[in-house]
A = this chain, B = another copy of it.
Amino acid sequence: MKAKIVHRMATAPEDTRDKLLKAAIQVFSEHGYERATVREISRVAGTNIALVKYHFGDKLELFREVVRYASDADAKLAVLTQARKENADPCEALRQIIRGALERLTARREQTGLQLRLMLKEIANPSNAWIVEIESALRPTYDQFRVVVGQILGLPMGDTKTRLCTHSIIGQVAHYVHARPILSRLWPEMQMSPAQIEMIANHIADFSLAYLQAERAKIPARSAKKVQKKSPRKRT
């Protein structure tokens, strides 16, 4: 009837779903699941609110889809594998992984790292509803990281010490992301500039490698042999 409503069908139908998905990644990673609202997601996507229900059912399904979508085309695993391929020395690979993760996690406006930031945000505020999706999205990265740490230690990835060290490293990196706001108050000189990010990354690498390499040296059978991954036979 009234022609004042302008409809634009110029975009393909599937575009709306994608726009919502990308907007959801941004909003979810910025505010977390609870604080994020479907209204803001719709606003960022430039679509109607009801389309969340139409395309995804409800907010929770949209979030689940975001987690799957994010972990699919993600660079998380790529960073890890790339770092491992580029560096024969697992210590250097570790250093590169730490720097890459820290850069992505602290990058504000970048699309890169949104997925990791999203995970980190939700890890602290878990819910039984989506913890399964979070786990399956995190699992590959966690396992690959354990392999790298295990290589340095000369221990299998399932070893308790390997896991403890892995979490020690993850915890250090995550801390600078979690505590960033209060950190800038307790330590005003720390502005998280690119140069400072690199300094932090190198510190975390040095800090961690001090223990890792010392422990490797303690294991006589592996100290000079099984550091590398590509050697034919693995353990003890």
A142 contacts partner chain B, Cβ-Cβ < 8 Å? yes
Main secondary structure of the interface of A (DSSP, over half): helix
B residues near A171, Cβ cutoff 8 Å: 171-176, 179
A167's contact among B34, B164, B170, B183, by CB below 8 Å, is which? B183
Whether A167 lies near B174 (C-beta < 8 A) is no
The segment out of A40-48, A106-114, A206-214 that lies at the interface is A206-214
A203 contacts partner chain B, Cβ-Cβ < 8 Å? yes
A9 contacts partner chain B, Cβ-Cβ < 8 Å? no
Known: A171-B174, A174-B171, A186-B139. A123 touches B179 (CB 8 A): yes
Known: A168-B207, A187-B163. A182 touches B131 (CB 8 A): yes
A126 contacts partner chain B, Cβ-Cβ < 8 Å? yes
A11 contacts partner chain B, Cβ-Cβ < 8 Å? no
Whether A175 lies near B167 (C-beta < 8 A) is yes
Whether A135 lies near B182 (C-beta < 8 A) is yes
| Smallest CB-CB A-B distances: 6 pairs | A171-B175, A210-B211, A126-B181, A171-B172, A164-B203, A124-B178
